[in-house]
Chain A
Amino acid sequence: MAAVFIEKLQKRYGSVEAVKDVSLTVQSGEIFGLLGPNGAGKTTTLRCLCTLTEPDSGTIEVSGISVVDNPRQARQRLGYIAQEVALDKVLTGRELLELQAALYHLPKATAKQRIAEMIDLLGLDEWADKRTGTYSGGLKKRLDLAAGLLHQPDVLVLDEPTVGLDIESRSTVWNFLRRLREAGTTVLITSHYLEEIDALADRVAIIDRGVVIASGTPSELKDRVGGDRITLRIREFSPTDEAQQAKSLLESLPTVQEVIINPAQGNSLNLVVTPNSEALMGVQQALQKAGLPTFGIAQSRPSLDDVYLTATGRTLLDADLAAAGSRDAKAEKKQNMR
């Protein structure tokens, strides 16, 4: 039985179709990543899963339990870590965990034991009896993780777990999630960071404008795109005509499938090439012959960004920027309030 089963999920807010068609299956014991730019429908999907929002149509099951028909039972099996950590700053970490334990109806003795375990597990000993208002961002996230795991959920759901965290806290969260998986907990995370999904997820679904556009293991997805990538910079900042000249030159090479000029990166050239070692050499020789310098050149396997680019015709970063410009923060806040 799948840990999470979502089929044909749809949710609209007024005229906005936040989620158009999302289907995904999270297997027990894996880290599943939901990757997409801001505003793609990741959070809405999670809110439907965690019973915060009622879906318009579709099926959502947690360990075979429908979240729409049996929300209480589903809630018992889910641990939800929202993107923005909402702690009561007047309470101490321990008091927050005690509240959380009571909300999940743990018996007193069990609660005490679990709280001690969680404080130990997340290295919160020093901080447990201080008010959460004094915590750093990383500490707050750790306390939130402790709270989400207190009742031993089947599935831990995290919405953008490392947004706004410093690098060290981020890697702590990553390591912690990996160890959770080793201990058998199923983890579902959303992210708009490629590296995060690449580093953590066993399987991934890429979501764009409310639709799942690709899913599989990260390497499957990359293989499916095919070809290697070469990033070439003729100069640190190349003039456009020179970049154009190099483009037409390189396009004639048999190993080169496609050349894109990226004006945002000082007119660097992104090449899709046949995946073998001669490709790189061929490009360098062709440049030398034409008398063009090389500021930097690197060959790489396709990334998840290339998967996204192939499916949508834009990069995640572009999509993110576009989304940031068109988002109505106030309307979204309203949606997320209950």
Chain B
Amino acid sequence: MSSTLTPSKSGLSEKPLVTPSQPNLVGEFVQETLALTRRLFIQLQRRPSTLAAGIIQPLMWLILFGALFQNAPQGLFGDRISYGQFLGAGVIVFTAFGGALNAGLPVMFDREFGFLNRLLVAPLASRFSIVMASAIFITTLSLIQTAAIVVMSALLGAGLPNAFGLALVAFIVLLLVLGVTGLSLGLAFALPGHIELIAVIFVTNLPLLFASTALVPLSFMPKWLQVVATLNPLSYAIEPIRYLYLHNDWSFSSIIMQAPFGNVSLGGALLILVGFCTLALISIQPLLRRRLA
């Protein structure tokens, strides 16, 4: 410790640097959101293991799980397609979902370590910048993962949707990730600690996967599971992506799923996803307002 800590007169007694009389709220919101996002990306850059694991894991799914059903009779999973081709969409959605589900963890740790207090005593334009930064970060991460899976499944022979189809895949992932990230951040503020949050993530993750069309088509399932799977938002992300992969002649009115209650079109699935995302984001508003207002 040095003993020469002398505050200079000029350094400490100037006029306030910030003039609160003319706040540029939008500019300030952008500034704080970017700074918080930058923090998350610096963390990622210095601890790349999360991203590495997030890319390796879905590739393992593709290779290992794909191989598991390699010898299934042709046509079992749909017209003239192999299980590998069938599986790609499920892995994309499951990976994005898992990442988004974990979005609340860093926020929870910030709460527990007191780092969040540093943000809360600062004159933020809006504390929603904290949520915004997480959403930007997780969405970017999911899109990177999705790109890696698309490339890998193309290499494994699953083919590629056309350019517009790929854009639509990205859009679907975006909707799902935004909604789930919102719910996870809501939980991060509602639950008492990271143990509880991890427990919730644990009981949500795999059941939602198995109760969706990620691994097998709807027609494979018993009736009751079909009902559950068609209530599961994940199915409405998986089926459109799968359809885009297998059909280059798609349109928004293409029927992508024969649910017990009727046929679902591509456009219909997208609407349901938009609804899910909106609902999720609206449902956490009162909670965030209470915790962050």
Contact = CB atoms under 8 A, between A and B. Distances in A.
A127 to B, nearest CB: 11
Given A98-B35, A183-B9, A337-B112, A90 B18 contact: no
A266 interface: no
B36 A104 contact: no
A100 B192 contact: no
Nearest to B31: A102
A151 interface: yes
A80 interface: yes
A287 interface: no
Interface residues of A, number: 56
A107 to B, nearest CB: 8
Interface string B105-139: 00000011111111111111100000000000000
Contacts of B18: 76, 104-106, 151
Contacts of A312: none
Contacts of B46: 90, 131
B1 A104 contact: no
A86 interface: yes
Given A77-B16, A102-B34, A151-B16, 17 more contacts: A51-B121, A76-B18, A86-B113, A88-B43, A99-B35, A99-B38, A102-B35, A104-B122, A104-B123, A117-B11, A121-B8, A123-B2, A123-B5, A172-B1, A180-B7, A184-B13, A337-B116
Interface string A241-285: 000000000000000000000000000000000000000000000
A180 B12 contact: yes
A334 B192 contact: yes
Interface in B1-48: 1-9, 11-14, 16-18, 20, 28, 31-32, 34-36, 38-39, 42-43, 46-47
B17 A110 contact: yes
A201 interface: no
A179 B6 contact: yes
B223 interface: no
Nearest to A106: B17
24 contacts: A75-B121, A76-B16, A76-B18, A76-B123, A80-B117, A86-B114, A91-B43, A99-B35, A102-B32, A102-B35, A103-B118, A103-B123, A105-B18, A105-B32, A121-B5, A151-B16, A152-B17, A154-B16, A172-B3, A179-B5, A182-B7, A183-B8, A183-B13, A338-B116
B118 A90 contact: no
A75 B119 CA distance: 11
Contacts of B4: 123
Interface string A75-104: 111101010101110110001001110111
Nearest to A168: B1
A222 interface: no
Contacts of A118: 11
A50 B39 CA distance: 24
B291 interface: yes
Interface in A33-55: 50-52
B122 A75 contact: yes
Contact of B114 (A82, A98, A107): A82
Contact of A88 (B14, B115, B192): B115
A122 B122 CA distance: 21
A72 interface: yes
Contact of B122 (A95, A100, A117, A154): A100
Nearest to A47: B117
B31 A76 contact: no
B17 A52 contact: no
B120 A86 contact: no
Interface in B119-172: 119-125
A294 interface: no
A78 to B, nearest CB: 7
Contacts of A135: none
Contacts of A185: 7, 12-13
Contact of B1 (A51, A138, A182, A336): A138
Contact of A122 (B5, B16, B32): B5
Interface in A167-218: 168-169, 172, 175-176, 179-180, 182-185
